């Protein structure tokens, strides 16, 4: 018996995707694609013209995001997308530059660039997908892996302390900091819209299931189990003290999510133009205005 499909509904985010590159590389159940869907919807909603938006990724499963979005998109080197984005943004401040990459990429090998970009309050958005592992290379320990996680390079369990990313970003100077999970699709989209429209360094951490590697190796069940866990154990606490939001053990009783920081502060270029105008007067050639 054949099934006749008379109308195939168009995917609402298709216009933002490089459909000629599909199917994508991500596994069934992976949270990355879900977040890309949120991002495409956020792009549609944020009001920024598509030609003024650029996306930069590093290397990893999440690092592949740039390659599927129909924007000016740059797939750079492992850990360095923020440094590339810095140049892109400063050279053409009319572009809204988004960095979209993994936990290992942005705060492992790329940690130095992350803290300095936040400190400088560069007007860029950083979206970090935290799957608690170096997924693309098969599941080695990352600086976000909670205690006791089993990774290929910590076969007896993690004993190092991990990063509390919202606190790291906030204490380095980020003006917008939020954390959500791949379960919270509406909130993720809304946070992305807010971050895109925020002047200064905005940061979103998204906890995301990696069923193929992290969940399987840690016997945490399927992607659905992980999403259920996010649903049942997330506690929305906007404005939470970021010192209190660390995820120190696997599957803690409660994961604090929400918008933790949303403050105003002059971004790097505003500060540069203001300062150099004051010091140099008319001799200063203002940049990017």
Partner 1 sequence: MAEVKCITADPKGVLTGVHYMDGNHAACEGALAAGCRFAAGYPITPSTEVVERFSARIPLVGGVFIQMEDEIASSICLQGAVWAGLKAMTVTSGPGMSLMLEHVGLAACLETPCVFVNVQRGGPSTGLPTLPGQADMQQCRWGSHGDYEVIALSPSTVQECFDFIIDAFNLAEIYRVPVFFMMDECVGHMTEKVVIPEADKIKVVERRYTSKPPEEYLPYKPDPDLVPEMVKAGDGYRIHVTGLTHDEKGYPVINAQAQHEMVWRLVDKIEKNAPKIWRYEEEDIEGADVVVLSYGISARVALKAIEMAKERGLKVGRMRLIVVWPFPEPRVKEIASKVKAIVVPELNIRGQIAREVERIVEGTCRVMRVPHAGGTVHDPERILDAIMEAVK
Ligand X SMILES: Cc1ncc(C[n+]2csc(CCOP(=O)(O)OP(=O)(O)O)c2C)c(N)n1
How many C-beta atoms lie closer than 10 Å to residue 35's C-beta?
Answer: 26
Closest approach of partner 1 to the CB of residue 107, in Å: 14
59 binds ligand SF4 (CB under 6 A): no
User: Which run of H or of E encompasses 194?
Assistant: helix 185-196
Nearest to 266 by CA among 218, 198, 220, 216: 198
* Contact in structure between 108 and 77 (CB atoms under 8 Å): no
> Would you mind telling me the total number of residues written for the chain in this entry?
289
Contact mark string toward partner 1, 113..152, x via CB under 8 A: x--x------------------------------------
How many C-beta atoms lie closer than 10 Å to residue 197's C-beta?
Answer: 16
Pick from 58, 108, 211, 258 the residue near ligand SF4 by CB under 6 A: 211
283 binds, among partner 1, ligand X, ligand SF4, none (CB under 5 to 8 A by kind): partner 1
Burial class (CB in 10 A: 0-12, 13-18, 19+), 214: buried
101 binds partner 1 (CB under 8 A): no
Pick from 46, 56, 61, 256 the residue near ligand SF4 by CB under 6 A: 61
Please work out, in degrees rounded to the nearest 5, the angle formed at the alpha carbon of residue 119 by the alpha carbons of 136 and 250: 40
15 binds partner 1 (CB under 8 A): no
209 binds ligand X (CB under 6 A): no
212 binds ligand SF4 (CB under 6 A): yes
Q: Which residues bind ligand SF4 (CB under 6 A)?
A: 26-27, 30, 32, 61, 131, 135, 210-213
Positions in the binding site for ligand X (CB under 6 A): 59-62, 78, 101-105, 131, 133-137, 142
């Amino acid at each position: 018996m054949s099934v006749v499909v008379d109308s195939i509904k168009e995917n609402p985010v298709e216009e933002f995707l490089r459909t000629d590159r599909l199917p994508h590389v991500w596994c069934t159940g992976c949270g990355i694609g879900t977040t890309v869907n949120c991002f495409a919807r956020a792009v549609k909603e944020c009001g920024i013209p598509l030609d003024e938006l650029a996306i930069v990724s590093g290397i990893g499963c999440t690092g592949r995001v740039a390659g599927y979005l129909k924007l000016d998109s740059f797939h750079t080197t492992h850990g360095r997308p923020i440094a590339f984005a810095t140049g892109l943004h400063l050279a053409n401040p009319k572009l809204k530059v988004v960095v979209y990459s993994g936990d290992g990429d942005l705060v492992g090998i790329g940690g130095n660039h992350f803290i300095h970009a936040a400190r400088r309050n560069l007007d860029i958005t950083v979206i970090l997908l935290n799957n608690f592992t170096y997924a693309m290379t098969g599941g080695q320990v990352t600086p976000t892996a909670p205690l006791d996680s089993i990774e290929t390079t910590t076969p007896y369990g993690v004993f190092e302390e991990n990063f509390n990313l919202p606190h790291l970003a906030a204490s380095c100077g980020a003006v917008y900091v939020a954390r959500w999970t791949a379960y919270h699709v509406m909130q993720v989209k809304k946070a992305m819209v807010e971050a895109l429209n925020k002047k200064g360094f905005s940061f979103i951490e998204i906890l995301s299931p990696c069923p193929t590697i992290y969940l399987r190796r840690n016997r945490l069940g399927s992607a659905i189990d992980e999403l259920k866990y996010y649903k049942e154990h997330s506690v929305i606490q906007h404005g939470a003290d970021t010192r209190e939001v660390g995820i120190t053990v696997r599957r803690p009783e409660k994961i604090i999510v929400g918008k933790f920081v949303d403050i105003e502060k002059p971004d790097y270029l505003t500060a540069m133009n203001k300062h150099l105008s004051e010091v140099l007067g008319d001799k200063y050639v203002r940049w990017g205005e």
